[in-house]
Amino acid sequence: MIGCLTAPFRALGCLVLLALLVGAWLYRDRVVSEAHRLLDRVESPAAPAAGAPAQPAGRPGTRALASARAKIDSLNGSRADSVVLTPSEVASLLGSALAPTVRQELDSLRVELLDNEVLVHARLRTAKLPKDALGPLALALRPTEPVEVGGPLRVTAPGRGEWAVRSFRIRDFPVPAPAVSHLVSRALGEPGRETVPLELPPGIRAIAIHPGRATLLGAARP
């Protein structure tokens, strides 16, 4: 009896399935095209917004650091008045220029070179961040967080430089501008300090940051 009652539903299901198969066959070209479009969207990275060209990001590496140092060595001889570094060379140089106590707090370092600004992306260990400078955000911090830190580089003396941090973003939350300098000084353990000190190779007189490249100027020649 139950089989007799369900037979019409099974027949209806077969008709629906048959209709779907016929429709798929008749419109197979459109189905295949739509499937390819969806796969392309899943596998391809999102395109940059129109009118905002993306700048290549550089990562530190031993080859890039050796290349950067070789270029800087040419400033100390008679071959070059200036040299141009790639984002990877700047990332390598910056990574080696940071104090070890600062560098060890950063993982997955990436560097973008913008107009007069070095933008650093990294994962930061948050244990040493001053919680009072972060306000309510401090309650939601995880042991490591993605950060985006930006600002210009300056040479302050032979072999010395500084990174003047102007912006600081944790995850998707920007730190208010008035709190950035306080955050930097507290994180470095140097009250009143508003910049990150750098130890640079000798021979660099000035650094000019442009989109996608950095120009290092050598000491004035007699």
Q: Could you report the per-residue pLDDT of 125-134, keeping only the tens digit for each? A: 988 887 777 7
The verdict on residue 80 lying in a domain is yes
Residue 38 or residue 123, greater confidence: 123
Q: Where are the alpha helices (DSSP H) in the chain?
A: 2-26, 28-43, 62-76, 87-97, 100-103, 177-188
The verdict on residue 51 lying in a domain is no
Rounded-to-10 torsion of CA 149, 155, 159, 163: -10
Residue 218's pLDDT is 87
Q: Distance (Å, rounded) from C-alpha 84 to C-alpha 189? A: 34
Q: Distance (Å, rounded) from C-alpha 64 to C-alpha 67? A: 5
Contact 129, 141 (CB under 8 A): yes
The verdict on residue 50 lying in a domain is no
Rounded-to-10 torsion of CA 184, 190, 191, 195: -40
The verdict on residue 48 lying in a domain is no
**Any bridge partners for residue 145, and if so which?**
124
Share of the chain above pLDDT 90, in %: 42
Same domain, 78 and 171: yes
The verdict on residue 49 lying in a domain is no
**Any bridge partners for residue 196, and if so which?**
163
Same domain, 12 and 86: no
Q: Distance (Å, rounded) from C-alpha 145 to C-alpha 132? A: 17
Residue 43's pLDDT is 33
Residue with tokens 């730190």: 175
The verdict on residue 64 lying in a domain is yes
Q: Does this model's pTM top 0.95? A: no
The number of folded domains in the chain is 2
Torsion sign, CA atoms 156, 207, 166, 200 = negative
Q: Which domain holds residue 38?
A: 2-43
The verdict on residue 52 lying in a domain is no
The verdict on residue 85 lying in a domain is yes
Q: 102 falls in which pLDDT band (50, 70, 90)?
A: confident
Same domain, 85 and 173: yes
Same domain, 30 and 92: no
Residue 15's pLDDT is 56
Say which amino acid occupies 59.
R
Contact 65, 93 (CB under 8 A): yes
Q: Which of 37-41, 63-67, 166-170 has the lowest mean pLDDT?
A: 37-41
Same domain, 107 and 135: yes
Q: Which of 2-11, 88-97, 157-166 has the lowest mean pLDDT?
A: 2-11
